[in-house]
Amino acid sequence: MNGSSIVVTGAAGFIGSCLVGFLNSQGYTNLLLVDEFSRADKEPNLQGKTYLQKIERESFFDWLQNNDPSIDFIFHIGARTDTTEFNYAIHEHLNVEYSQKIWNYCVAKNVPLVYASSAATYGGGEFGYDDNHELPFKLKPLNPYGVSKNEFDKWAIQQATQPPFWAGLKFFNVYGPNEYHKARMASVIFHSFNQIKKGGLVKLFRSHRPDFKDGQQLRDFVYVKDVLKVCYWLMQNKPASGIYNLGTGKARAFEDLVKATFAGIDKDPNIQFIDMPEDIRDKYQYFTEANMQKLFDAGYTEKFYSLEEGVQDYVRNYLSLGKFY
């Protein structure tokens, strides 16, 4: 390693902390971690990890100015991800304006950038799930979070000055270790596991659309370990810049997910259907499926975990043991 460092924003969160662990496993310890580090429930995510320094999110740009560090790469994973937060100003500050400042820094200092976008940008899916650069200008996301992520994607695509390499990753439904702190926003696997432990059954949202049976709402669930591999590959290979989908390319039913969770703790499935809360009912995605061709065309060849493989690994090796990545 030379004297340059890698920045990971959102480093105390779910995907960010896993990325720190993955970079450590590849021999990178020269990491600058950016986040709001006040939350005690996120602290275990970073235990045992090696890094240079933690920097508070709101003072990061002052810190950069004062220290002028040599930076090799920025992973901008941090975001306000709460889809039930309807105050757009909060999303705008963190997901649009903050991201623009990161981008402008990368342009000024010639630093490559990978940032987290989201499949929430696709809204109801009426325009499909292609990661071309025309689509963001048509999309109608269903909540302020999705709007903010799409606004930044549009802004990035339109910039005349760009980092030497950049990729906006549209994360689909990511699940895996280190989401213990996420409460309502944690994955269905996490909630299912806890429901099984507590009461022996899992409650799933009933379908409120005639074209979908209960439990057959479909999402593209992607295991966090695949997300880490793609992030790392992009840093190493720097293919064509642009927006990239990051799912598995295969939509699966919530019912399959829950059955795999039961299988992970060697129990027979026991599922009960409940009404979806009113506040998310008309903003709910019934189907998401990433078109992954662009990443494959760019040269990515690693095989993705199947839903069953990913859930099995997560449940047996992390949730059942209360372990972190």
Q: Rounded to 5 degrees, what angle do the CA atoms 33, 35, 38 make?
A: 120
d(CA 98, CA 67): 19
Which residue in the block uniquely carries the two structure tokens 């004297």?
3
d(CA 74, CA 1): 16
Q: Packing angle between helix 60-67 and helix 98-109, nearest 10 degrees?
A: 20
Q: Rounded to 5 degrees, what angle do the CA atoms 46, 21, 166 make?
A: 110
Q: Packing angle between helix 98-109 and helix 144-158, nearest 10 degrees?
A: 20
Catalytic residues: 145, 182
d(CA 143, CA 88): 9
Nearest to 287 by CA among 222, 223, 212, 192: 212
d(CA 183, CA 257): 19
d(CA 36, CA 46): 13
- The residues, ordered by sequence, that sit 6+ positions from 170 with a Cβ below 8 Å of its Cβ are 117, 118, 119, 121, 122, 131, 243, 244, 245, 246, 247, 290
The helix (H) or strand (E) run that includes residue 241 is none
Q: What's the per-residue H, E or C state across 195-228?
A: HHHHHCCEEEECCCCCCCCCCCCEECEEEHHHHH
Is there a contact between 78 and 96 (Cβ–Cβ < 8 Å)? Answer: no
